[in-house]
A = this chain, B = another copy of it.
Amino acid sequence: MKTRRSDRLIDMTRYLLERPHTLVPLTFFSQRYESAKSSISEDLAIIRRTFAQRHTGILETVPGAAGGVRYVPIIAATEAQTFISQIAERLSDSERLLPGGYVYLTDLLGTPEVLRQIGRLIATQYIDSSVDAVMTVATKGIPIAQSVSQYLNVPFVIVRRDSKITEGSTVSVNYVSGSSDRVQKMELSKRSLKPGSGVLIVDDFMKGGGTVGGMKSLIEEFDAKLLGVSVFAEGDFNGDRLIDDYTSLLRINQVDSKTKTITAEAGNYLQRNAELLTGLDK
């Protein structure tokens, strides 16, 4: 059926939001709404303007016969700052202190709106990289990987410390846990990654970087390419960190079980991405 502009704007907005980084040909919309391509172009110009004003994302136009439009989600610098400060404050709550100086994060990593923002923040860093897959290690990295994978619209793969019969053949590597100096094993299903894939590593928490180091070795074993490392929070670590090129949204500086205090602040994300975020804000 032929549609009114208002109906088209609403449905196109939903359609595009559900398919980030996907090239949608103008003919698709033109057929879907039985409308002229010129009307569709006007609609998209309006959506592009609103998305830019509200910092929802960029609507890229690819000209030519094979062209179309592509929605690239981003986060604005101010929204990123606000989110990170709010989470830092929530992390500093002494109620989160666990025996052994650990900090309880599980509730945050199970809350849809928190995961949504974590996904947007991390994905924004890689809008110009050709990420083919997001990699994480079970269990607590999974929600982050899933959220980032939604915003980049690519699959995520889960590395496991325990072998499962439901994964088929696997490739395994040994790695040294930086904080405990123990040698451990992690593995990934052979079917998970194609050679040459561009891979982004994400995790919930990084201390010595041993787990991330293990994932790097796995990426090499699969002849894939590492495109970046992003963690939700990094902890204080005395010693040489095995990984130095990474971004962290948060940094847990100090955990004092005696005085029951946790000191959490912004990680290096905002600083490392200052130029990118300012550019996107325009």
- A7–B155 CB distance below 8 A: no
Chain A residues with a Cβ closer than 8 Å to the other chain, count: 58
Given contacts A6-B46, A112-B155, contact A54 B104 (CB under 8 A): no
- A107–B191 CB distance below 8 A: yes
Tell me which residues from 1 to 27 in chain A have a Cβ below 8 Å from any Cβ of chain B.
5-7, 9-11, 13-14, 17-19
Which residue of chain B has its CB nearest to the CB of A139?
Answer: B138
Min CB gap A128→B, angstroms: 20
Per assembly, the copies of the chain total 2
Given contacts A14-B13, A112-B155, contact A189 B106 (CB under 8 A): yes
- A6–B7 CB distance below 8 A: no
Within 8 Å by CB of A102, from B7, B147, B156, B166, lies B166
Residues of B within 8 A of A192 (CB): 106-107, 110
Judge whether A247 is part of the interface by a CB distance below 8 angstroms: no
Judge whether A143 is part of the interface by a CB distance below 8 angstroms: yes
Give 1 or 0 for each of A31-52: 1 = CB within 8 Å of chain B CB: 0000000000000001101110
Judge whether A239 is part of the interface by a CB distance below 8 angstroms: no
- B165–A99 CB distance below 8 A: yes
Which residue of chain B has its CB nearest to the CB of A148?
Answer: B112
- A98–B157 CB distance below 8 A: no
Rounded to whole angstroms, the CA-CA distance of A166 and B166 in the bound complex is 27
Within 8 Å by CB of A110, from B47, B50, B116, B155, lies B155
Within 8 Å by CB of A157, from B99, B104, B110, lies B110
Within 8 Å by CB of A10, from B13, B116, B164, B191, lies B13
- B112–A149 CB distance below 8 A: yes
Min CB gap A255→B, angstroms: 12
- B13–A191 CB distance below 8 A: no
Judge whether A160 is part of the interface by a CB distance below 8 angstroms: yes
Give 1 or 0 for each of A130-163: 1 = CB within 8 Å of chain B CB: 0000000011101100110110011111101000
Q: Which 9 A-B pairs have the closest CB atoms?
A: A10-B50, A13-B13, A138-B139, A110-B155, A7-B50, A112-B150, A142-B142, A98-B168, A10-B13
Task: Please list 16 pairs of residues, one from A and one from B, whose beta carbons are closer than 8 Å in the complex, sorted by A's number.
Answer: A7-B46, A7-B53, A9-B9, A11-B56, A98-B166, A102-B166, A106-B158, A106-B192, A107-B192, A110-B156, A110-B157, A110-B158, A111-B155, A112-B150, A142-B146, A143-B146
